[in-house]
Structure 1
Amino acid sequence: MMHDSIGDMIIQIKNAACAGKEIVELPHSNMKAAVARIFQQEQYLDSVEKIGSKPKELLRLKLSYEGKVPVLTNVKRVSKPGLRCYVTKYKIPTVMGGTGISIVSTPQGIMTGKEAWKRGIGGELLCTVW
């Protein structure tokens, strides 16, 4: 049985935003930390912290809110363990007419779709956020 850690992270963030929670804690991995940093750069998260020590390291994510409304309205996992989705530079989607972002795992690291397009590279389309 496969475990989708990025999918679990995305769902935990989405559920916390819907429930009005301010902080989400989840097990640390380098890939989760990279995705969380992109969420923070795009202002969907206020802060990303690594807490604890090995082997029980955790990521503490603080969600962004405008008043009482979460900034993050929806997240969709695109590439899944059972059906991977790879895109070229030209196939990276625009999300909600440019108001959202796509996150792509490339040979040069995890980045937004816009940054991957500027660098002229494609990769695995992890998720879309708006």
Structure 2
Amino acid sequence: MTNDIISNMLTKIRNANLAKHYIVQVESTKITNSIIRVLHKEGFIYKYEEIEKKPYKYLLISLKYKGKEKKRIITELKRISKPGLKVYTNKKEIPKVLGGIGVAILSTSQGVMTDKEARQHGIGGEILCYVW
């Protein structure tokens, strides 16, 4: 069992993506559900589904690829805030990932959201990860 559920989830998605698998299974928690919902909304994953096998809950994530060559939609997942070192930002200093091409996922007082949504709401928070 790992202490950092988010890093574990990002690593599983990264490895499945590099191996060009279509489906990956990760542990279902409140925070992983929120991050996956944001990735789905931003178009990085095809779909996701929560499976419950007592006493565990899992998320089955369908990864997205382009064309016959199966070009990856997600080129990189990078964990920013870690259990040993939390990284916070205020509303004025929210980073732009690759000049706006990528997405920063933040945990805010109003839930997990992208950097664009946080700027629109005028709130900062903990920077969980970067995706591009």
Instruction: Compute the TM-score of the two structures, normalised by the length of structure 1.
Output: 0.96
* Residue of structure 2 aligned with 1:94, choices 96, 100, 109: 96
C-alpha distance in 2 between matches for 1:37 and 1:20 = 21
Which residue is 2:83 aligned to? 81
Give the 3-state SS of the residue equivalent to 1:92 in structure 2.
Answer: coil
In terms of mean alpha carbon deviation, does 17-26 or 45-54 score higher?
Answer: 45-54
Corresponding letter in the other structure for 1:57: K
C-alpha distance in 1 between matches for 2:105 and 2:131 = 8
In terms of mean alpha carbon deviation, does 21-30 or 49-58 score higher?
Answer: 49-58
Give the 3-state SS of the residue equivalent to 1:57 in structure 2.
Answer: strand
C-alpha distance in 1 between matches for 2:64 and 2:18 = 12
Asked whether 1:63 is paired with 2:63, we answer yes
Which whole-Å deviations, capped at 9, do the CAs of 1:64-108 have from their partners, x for residues lacking one?
Answer: 100211100001100000100000011111011111000000011
Which residue is 1:40 aligned to? 40
Q: How many residue pairs end up in the alignment?
A: 130
How much has 1:54 moved relative to structure 2? 3.8
C-alpha distance in 2 between matches for 1:38 and 1:121 = 17
Which residue is 1:117 aligned to? 119
What's the Cα RMSD here?
A: 1.3
Structure 1, unaligned stretches of length 5 or more?
A: none
C-alpha distance in 1 between matches for 2:54 and 2:119 = 36
C-alpha distance in 2 between matches for 1:13 and 1:46 = 13
Runs of 4 or more, structure 1, over 2 Å off, are none
Percent identity of equivalent pairs: 43
Which whole-Å deviations, capped at 9, do the CAs of 1:53-72 have from their partners, x for residues lacking one?
Answer: 44211100000100211100
Instruction: Compute the TM-score of the two structures, normalised by the length of structure 2.
Output: 0.94
Which residue is 1:31 aligned to? 31
In terms of mean alpha carbon deviation, does 52-61 or 117-126 score higher?
Answer: 52-61
In terms of mean alpha carbon deviation, does 71-80 or 44-53 score higher?
Answer: 44-53
Corresponding letter in the other structure for 2:106: V
